[in-house]
Amino acid sequence: MKKQRKVLMKSYTHDDEYYYKIIRKNIKSYRQNLKYTQQDLADMTSMSREYICDIENDSRNKHVTIAVLGRIAEALNIPIEDFFKKNTHKE
């Protein structure tokens, strides 16, 4: 006789914007802690300062790709997964 497995359905409460907000705040916090300007980070990642500003600014609703996050993480010399950690930034 086969045992039946009980499958638990998990409800997810966070949408994309929740995670983008954490990522944006972490990028800005890491950049500022290193005393880099947006222009410094832009130069280090071969992106425009305007793009960095769009990423960091909640009101601009700019979404980023994993490749862009990777470039920023390398420039800031941090593991990419640190961008996803809640409460690593100043509120």
Q: Would 6 be classed as within a structural domain? A: no
pLDDT for 91 equals 45
Tokens found for residue 61: 């609703």
Is residue 48 within 8 Å of residue 42, measured between CB atoms? yes
Count of structural domains, the chain: 1
Query: Measured between alpha carbons, how far is residue 61 from residues 18, 33, 38 in Å?
Result: 11, 23, 17
pLDDT tens, residue by residue, 12-54 = 788 888 899 999 999 999 999 999 999 999 999 999 999 999 9
Q: Would 7 be classed as within a structural domain? A: no
Residues of the domain holding 74: 16-84
Q: Would 8 be classed as within a structural domain? A: no
CA gap 83, 72 in Å, rounded:
10
pTM for the model: 0.80
Q: Would 22 be classed as within a structural domain? A: yes
Q: Would 27 be classed as within a structural domain? A: yes
Q: Would 2 be classed as within a structural domain? A: no
CA gap 7, 42 in Å, rounded:
46
pLDDT for 11 equals 73
CATH number for the domain that contains residue 28: 1.10.260.40
